[in-house]
Amino acid sequence: MIGPFKQELTQHYEYPPDRYAGTKAGTPVVRRLFGIVEGTRAGVAFAAALGIRDPWDFNQHKVTASEIDFAALRAELAPLEDGEQHLRDIDALQAFAAEGYDIYFLPNG
């Protein structure tokens, strides 16, 4: 995710909220979510829930927020070993999508 810093989103940023104490509103911030290492099936299902039909088609890697299937993300990622972290990442993704952040898919493989 890339978007303008907003104090009300600090709980979803990469670092603890106190690290952003001096950050000015509007400063670009980057947040990486979903370190999925469970393998190809989980990665392909994750990409599909983001609206990406082919994870290796780099033309599709800028995600359109309205195409994200949050229910599918929860169903697919919650049962995984890092499910609790994935659920926190889904909450963050929803918050960033609602604020118009730029969202990108980065394949792991």
d(CA 74, CA 67): 15
Number of domains in the chain: 1
- Taking only the tens of pLDDT, the chain with its 109 residues reads 999 999 999 999 999 999 999 999 999 999 999 876 555 777 888 999 999 999 889 999 999 999 999 999 999 999 988 899 999 999 999 999 999 999 999 887 6
Does residue 53 form part of some domain?
yes
Report yes or no: 53 and 107 within 8 Å, Cβ to Cβ: no
Does residue 55 form part of some domain?
yes
pTM value? 0.89
Does residue 58 form part of some domain?
yes
Q: What is the pLDDT of residue 109?
A: 67
Does residue 109 form part of some domain?
no
Does residue 6 form part of some domain?
yes
